[in-house]
Amino acid sequence: MLRDDMFKLDLTSEYKIHELIFINSGSNYYARLPVDSHAALLSDNNSGKTSTLSALKLFLLPEINFKDCKAKFGFSSGGKYYSNIDSYQYYFPGTESYIICNASNPKHSFCWVLYRTTDFGYERIAVPKTYDDIEHLFWNASSASNEKAGQHQSDIGISDIKKKLIKNYGGVIFNDRKSIGEAIYTRTSAAEDHTRFSLLPMVKKFSDASVDTVRALLGMAFSLGDASTTTLPSAIGSIIDGMGMSVVKKNDDGIFLDIDNALDEWEQLKETDSKLKKVAAYQDRWQLLKTERKRYSELRKSLQSDFATTTLTVHEAIKHYGRQLEEVSSRTRAAEAEYNQFVSEYNAAKRTSEQTQSDLRAADKLIASLEKKLNKADFVRSRLRPLCPANDTTDDAILKAISDELKKCSEDIQSLKDQGQAIASMDRLNKSIKDKDDAIRDRKSALARLDSGHSFLDSLSGHAASVLISINNSFTQLDLSISDQQTGIIEAFAGLFSQDGQRISFCGSSLEGTEFQSYSKDESRIKIQKRIEELESELKGDRKQLSKLNQNAVLSPAERSRKLQEYEEDYSELQGEKTIIKGIDGYRDQYDESIENRKLLQALSEEQKTAYDEARDKRSELQLAYNKLKEREQTLTQPLGAAKGYMDELRRLAGESSQMLDVETVVSEQPASLLPAYQPEQTRSDIDGLRARMRETRSSRDDAIEALHLLLEHGIVDSTPEDRHAITTQKQAFEIHYAALQTVYENLDSSTENYKQRLKDHNNHAAITASMIEKVKGVVESFIDKINQELGGYSISNLDNVELVAELHPQYVNMARTLGLVANKTDSLLTEDFYKQISAFQSEFYIQRSGKVDIARIIQKVSYRFNRNGKKEEIPQSNGTNCMVNAVLLALLLKHMIPEDLSLAMPVIFDEVGSLDERNLREVLKVMEEHGLVLFAANPEPTGVIASVLSVYHDLSIFKATDAEIMGKAEAIYFPGMEERLENLSDDVVGAE
Residue 220 located in a structural domain: yes
CA distance 410 to 16: 126
The pLDDT of residue 583 is: 73
SS3 assignment, position 73: coil
| 93 and 220, same domain (yes or no) | no
3-state secondary structure of 359: helix
Half-sphere exposure of 860 (CA within 13 A, CB side): 8
| Angle, alpha carbons 472-475-481 (nearest 5°) | 150
- What's the rounded Cα separation, in Å, for the pair 587 and 599? 19
Q: Please give the share of the chain, as a percent, with pLDDT higher than 70.
A: 88
Within-domain flag for 162: yes
Mean pLDDT of the chain: 80
pLDDT computed for residue 11 by the predictor: 37
Reported as a single tens digit per residue, the pLDDT across 923-965 is 778 777 777 788 888 877 888 778 888 889 888 888 899 888 8
Choose the weakest-confidence range: 197-206, 219-228, 637-646.
219-228
CB atoms within 10 A of CB 688: 10
- Identify any residues that bridge with 109 across adjacent strands, giving them in sequence order: 104
Do 12 and 128 lie in one domain? The reply is: yes
CA atoms within 13 A on the CB side of 709: 14
From 873, 897, 921, the end of a domain falls on 897
What gap in Å lies between CA 495 and CA 483, rounded to an integer? Answer: 18
Average pLDDT, stretch 364-368? 83
Long-range contacts of 669-674 (CB under 8 A, 24+ apart): 669/308, 671/308, 671/312
Same domain, 194 and 249: no
User: Do 225 and 128 belong together in one domain?
Assistant: no
- For residues 833 and 875, membership in a common domain is answered with yes
Domain boundary among 856, 871, 897: 897
Question: From residue 790, how far is each of 160, 241, 924 by CA, in Å?
Answer: 52, 20, 18
User: Residue 12: its pLDDT value, please?
Assistant: 46
Residue 553: pLDDT band with limits 50, 70, 90: low
DSSP 93: -
Closest to 888 in 3D by CA, of 237, 201, 220:
220
Q: Is the pLDDT of residue 862 over 70?
A: yes
Does some domain include residue 119? Answer: yes
Do 31 and 113 sit in the same domain of this protein?
Answer: yes
> Distances from the Cα of 429 to the Cαs of 408, 421, 424, 878, in angstroms?
11, 12, 9, 142
In the prediction, which pLDDT does 555 show? Answer: 67
- Domain-embedded: residue 328: no
Q: Do the domain assignments include residue 826?
A: yes
Query: Whole-angstrom Cα distance, residue 191 to residue 229?
Result: 42
pLDDT value at 156 more than 90: yes
Check whether 654 has a pLDDT greater than 80: yes
Q: Do 879 and 989 lie in a common domain?
A: no
Min mean pLDDT across 387-396, 533-542, 968-977 is at 387-396
Q: Provide the pLDDT for residue 256.
A: 56
With 70 as the cut, is the pLDDT of residue 348 above it? yes
In a shared domain, residues 849 and 756: yes
The pLDDT-based confidence of 173 (bands split at 50, 70, 90) is very high
770 shares a domain with 886: yes
* Weakest-pLDDT range from 232-246, 489-503, 621-635: 232-246
The overall pTM is greater than 0.75: no
**Closest by CA position to 407, among listed 582, 581, 583, 578:** 578
Query: If residue 28 lies in a helix (H) or strand (E), which one and from where to where?
Result: strand 28-34
CATH of the domain at 170: 3.40.1140
- Helix 283-384 to helix 557-582 angle (10° resolution) is 90
C-alpha separations of 534 from 405, 495, 884 in Å: 16, 34, 152
Highest mean pLDDT among 172-176, 528-532, 551-555, 648-652: 172-176
Within a domain: 183 = yes
**pLDDT tops 60 at residue 402:** yes
Q: What is the pLDDT of residues 317-333, one digit of tens each?
A: 888 888 888 888 888 88
Q: How far is CA 206 from the centre of its chain?
A: 44
Contact status, residue 186 vs residue 195, Cβ threshold 8 Å: yes
Among 877, 897, 917, which residue terminates a domain?
897
What pLDDT score does 25 carry? 94
28-34 vs 972-974, strand pairing mode: parallel
- What amino acid is encoded at 66 in this protein? F
Same-domain status, 189 and 235:
no
C-beta of residue 903 within 8 angstroms of C-beta of residue 7: yes
pLDDT at residue 637 tops 70: yes
Q: Is the pLDDT assigned to residue 993 strictly greater than 60? A: no
pLDDT at site 729: 63
Q: Given the DSSP bridges, would you call strands 80-81 and 859-868 parallel, antiparallel or unpaired?
A: unpaired
| 3 state DSSP class of 874 | coil
What confidence category does residue 742 fall into, taking pLDDT thresholds of 50, 70 and 90?
confident
pLDDT computed for residue 258 by the predictor:
62
Q: Report strand pairing: 14-25 vs 509-515.
A: unpaired
**Range 509-514, long-range pairs (CB < 8 A, 24+ positions):** 514/470, 514/471
Looking at the 3D structure of the chain, how many domains does it have? Answer: 2
Quick check: is 840 in a domain? yes
> Residue range 671-684: average pLDDT?
81
- pLDDT, average across residues 623-637: 85
Using a 10 angstrom Cβ sphere, with 0-12 exposed, 13-18 middle and 19 or more buried, the burial of residue 936 is: buried
Q: What is the pLDDT of residue 990?
A: 41
Residue 267 and residue 130 share a domain: no
**Under DSSP, is residue 114 helix (H, G, I), strand (E, B) or coil?**
strand
- CB atoms inside a 10 Å sphere around CB 323: 9
Three-state DSSP class for residue 380: helix
What value does the CA radius of gyration of the chain take, rounded to a whole number of Å?
66
**Torsions phi, psi for 510 (to 5 deg):** -70, 140
Q: Quick one: pLDDT at residue 4?
A: 40
pLDDT at 94: 92
Q: Which domain holds residue 810?
A: 207-278+750-897
Are residue 41 and residue 136 in the same domain, yes or no?
Answer: yes
Give the single-character DSSP code of 502.
T
pLDDT of residue 254 exceeding 90: no
Is 213 domain-assigned?
A: yes
